[in-house]
Amino acid sequence: MAWAGTWVLYSVLLRFNMAAWLAVSTATLAGVMFSVFAATIWRRLAIAAGFPLSLLISGSVMLPAWAWLLPLLLIAIVYPVNAWRDAPLFPTPSSALLGLAERAPLARDARILDAGCGLGDGLIALRAAYPAAALFGVEWSWPLRALTALRCPWATIRQGDMWKADWSQYDLVYLFQRPETMPRAIEKARAELRPGTWLVSLEFVAEDIKPTAKLQNVEGKPVWLYRAPLP
């Protein structure tokens, strides 16, 4: 569906006499936006790269050599290589954080960070759990950051590296990582979280630490709660 949609868009733009290189870039950007909803990095890359690759193979348009760098640049901007080591884009189920406020009580003016906020589903779930809190998100991909800012105008979203963000200024840090990067998250939480604050992890548990509490609202998607200081 994404590939068909990008070809339709490309054809329409050409009918309106748009320059070929600009029509290719616009259709590629549309494909990249479609791709963010896929569950794995390889599927997202296949969707994002499908239109420019099929166009190149078809030979239906002749572009200068430099023009083919534009689709590659668009894909690299949305999916920067240095972010591949982190978790794939995965939406937080809307009901996953039900009851979180009872297990991890916070003050009304608490500050909460969604580390690697993606498209903002985690922020939406956090807002439902803590409606009076100040919500913040950090996301490496600037197009995803822009989309999240549109979806979550009540949150403060910035583009940046979640591993370089200062967690000490927050009362709760929420993240969805993967088993390979959980040790790094725990190390950062040990170093930066203030006593009494919380680290909340969707699905993946810290192997060497006993959790303070656990939520199980969604089958196969437990939520693990850890209160600082972490042993």
Whether residue 73 is found in the same domain as residue 107: no
Whether residue 111 is found in the same domain as residue 172: yes
Q: Is the full-model pTM beyond 0.85?
A: no
Look up the domain containing 130 and give its range.
100-227
Whether residue 104 is found in the same domain as residue 75: no
Flag whether 158 is in a domain.
yes
Flag whether 133 is in a domain.
yes
DSSP 116: T
Flag whether 95 is in a domain.
no
Whether residue 112 is found in the same domain as residue 195: yes
What pLDDT does 104 receive?
96
Q: pLDDT per residue over 202-229, tens digit each? A: 988 888 889 999 999 999 899 999 999 9
DSSP 38: S
Q: What is the CATH number of the domain that holds 106?
A: 3.40.50.150
Domain boundary among 79, 113, 138: 79
Q: Is 138 helix (H, G, I), strand (E, B) or coil?
A: strand
What pLDDT does 79 receive?
62
Cβ-contact 161, 140 below 8 angstroms: yes
Q: pLDDT per residue over 62-113, tens digit each? A: 666 776 677 677 666 666 655 555 555 577 888 999 999 999 999 999 999 9
Tally of domains within the chain: 2
Dihedral angle sign, alpha carbons of residues 128, 133, 134, 137:
negative
- Rounded to 5°, the CA angle 151-157-163 comes to 130
Whether residue 114 is found in the same domain as residue 222: yes
Q: How far apart are the first and last CA of the chain?
A: 49
